[in-house]
Amino acid sequence: MTRRQLWQRISAHLDMPLLAGMALLMLASLLTLYSASDHNFERVMSQGMNILVALCCMWVVANLPLHYLMRTAVPIYVVGMLLLLGVLTPLGVNSHGATRWLNIGVATIQPSELMKIGVPLMMAWYFEKHEAGLTLKNFVVAALLLLLPVGLIAKQPDLGTALLISASGFYVLFLAGLSWRVMGGLFVAAIASAPVMWKMMHDYQRHRIEMLFDPSQDALGKGYHTIQGMIAVGSGGILGKGYLNGTQTHLDFLPERTTDFIFAVYSEEFGMVGNLILLTMYLFVIARGFVITANASTYFTRLMAGSITLTFATYAFVNMGMVSGILPIVGVPLPLVSYGGTSMLTLLLGFGMLMSIQTHKKLVKS
């Protein structure tokens, strides 16, 4: 095999525009991480490893033909549900007052992470199976497929993840053609049930929402994150303080600055111009995702591609919104940028599916 052939074999199922957009964001991740970790090269290398591992997994998924992808939907969903139920058993690991983890002997895993992919996959599979004549009944079943895991995750409690999975599931329903009237009804119902929800929430969850309106009332606790995040972003100004020059970052004011709050570091050092560039990079990746969605050849792939793209956009919005103080603090990393192996892997598995959808469709058509 010549070099050229080898490269063709490797890149056959990679979508270059998408990969380019992702690579830019990952580069931003490594650069910002170096600053955020106080020039800790080990941290950067470790994130590099996370990226490499995730890229390999992405490559494998991208090379899986679509019928394989579809076949995984039910097993992934069932295993995910079993693991979520397992969390309720004594095998569940409680930490920080929430039982989100499962002890499987060799390691502790977070089943809700699997469901970020498992739920939309299952719903898209279900719609594909009943494509011939979709009725309201089908939507109700699909909604149940969504609500069962979401309910279990909300009970852990992990409201942030529950809401994000709800969003990705809702995108599938929306793209599958959920009628406008039903959506309007749901919207009204959601508004009406808000006071009930408020009552059902845990104290700390209510606390975080209250913080949004008046962060100063808990300057040592949760409000501290919000205040310091806003100061970092705001003091960055138009052009930023310059790479490695963020005072908020380097004087230890910012909490969790390599993970959930990495955007504050970026924003402080690169300013509004940097933010615009970052938003453009995200927009580019999202746009490519929509192009793939529009070109997708089957019902299943259209729904899947659309949901993956919209969910990615939602993650980016929620994280930046939370750091800049317009959304409550929920544990959502900045996609492709925050330090962390698990979220990187989950995201890149999604992108692997997008690539598979884009590069296998010709074969399906023929």
Partner 1 sequence: MNKRIELKNHQQEIFNFRLRLFISIGFVLLLLGILLGRFIYLQAMRHEYYQTLAEKNRISVMPIVPNRGLILDRNGVVLAHNFSGYTLEITPSKVANLTDTINDLAKLVDIQPRDRKRFKKLQAESHDFETLMIRSRLSDEEVARFAAQQYRFPGVEIKARLFRDYPYSDKTAHLLGYIGRINQADEDKLEEQDADANYRGTDYIGKTGLEQYYENELHGTTGIEQVEVDSAGRAVRILSRTPPVSGNTLILSIDAKLQEIAEQAFGDYRGALVAIDPANGEVLAFVSRPGYDPSLFVDGIDADSWKELNDSPDHPLNNRVLRGQYPSGSTIKPFMALAGLFYNVRSPTQTINDPGFFTLPGSSHHYRDWKQGGHGSVDMFKSIVVSCDTYYYGLATELGIDRIFNFLSGFGFGKKTGIDLEGETSGLLPSQEWKQKRFKQKWYAGDTVSVGIGQGYSLVTPLQLAAATATLANGGIGYRPHLVREVKNSSTNQIHKLENAPAFDVKLDPANFDLVKRAMQAVTQPGGTAAQASAGALYTIAGKTGTAQVVGMKQGEKYNASKMDERHRDHAWFISFAPVDKPKIAVVVLVENGGHGGGTAAPIARKVMDYYLLGKVPVPVAPKAAIPAASAVPDVEVD
| Interacting residues toward partner 1 by CB under 8 A | 95-97, 171, 174-175, 177, 203-204, 207, 218-222, 224, 230-238, 247-248, 251-253, 267-268, 271-272, 275-276, 279, 282-283, 286, 290, 293-294, 302, 306, 309-310, 313-314, 317, 320-321, 324-326
Contact 33, 47 (CB under 8 A): yes
Q: Please name which of 31, 123, 18 lies closest in space to residue 347, comparing C-alpha atoms.
A: 18
Contacts of 74 (CB under 8 A, 6+ apart): 122, 125
CA 250, chain centre distance (Å): 28
Q: 57 vs 206, which CB is nearer to partner 1?
A: 206
210 touches 217 (CB < 8 A): yes
Least distance in Å: CB of 12 to partner 1?
A: 27
CB of 33 or CB of 114, closer to partner 1: 33
The least distance separating partner 1 from the CB of residue 68, rounded to whole angstroms, comes to: 24
What is d(CA 267, CA 320) in angstroms, rounded to the nearest whole number? Answer: 10
CB–CB of 58/357 below 8 Å? Answer: no
Judged by beta carbon, residue 52 or residue 273, the one nearer partner 1 is 273
Nearer to partner 1, 116 or 302 (CB): 302
What is the spatial distance between Cα 332 and Cα 335, in angstroms, rounded to a whole number? 8
CA nearest neighbour of 142 among 192, 79, 77? 77
Q: Between 13 and 302, name the residue whose CB sits nearer to partner 1.
A: 302
Q: How far is the CB of 38 from partner 1 (least distance, A)?
A: 9
Nearest Cα to 293, choosing from 311, 307, 313, 283? 307
**Between 51 and 232, whose beta carbon lies closer to partner 1?**
232
Least distance to partner 1 from the beta carbon of 286, Å? 6
Considering the complex, what minimum distance in angstroms separates the CB of residue 312 from partner 1? 10
Residue 149 vs 246, nearer CB to partner 1: 246
Distance of closest approach, residue 166 Cβ to partner 1, in angstroms: 15
Q: Which is nearer to partner 1, 17 or 321 (CB)?
A: 321
Using the minimum distance from each CB to partner 1, give the nearer residue, 5 or 90: 90
Closest among 300, 304, 309 to 364, alpha carbons compared? 300
Token output for 118: 């498992």
What is the SS3 assignment for 93? strand
CB of 133 to partner 1, least distance (A): 9
d(CA 211, CA 227): 10
DSSP H helices, the chain, are 3-11, 16-36, 41-63, 66-88, 111-129, 136-154, 159-176, 180-200, 203-213, 222-236, 247-250, 262-295, 299-323, 341-365
Closest contact distance (angstroms) between CB of 191 and partner 1 is: 18
Q: How far is the CB of 237 from partner 1 (least distance, A)?
A: 5
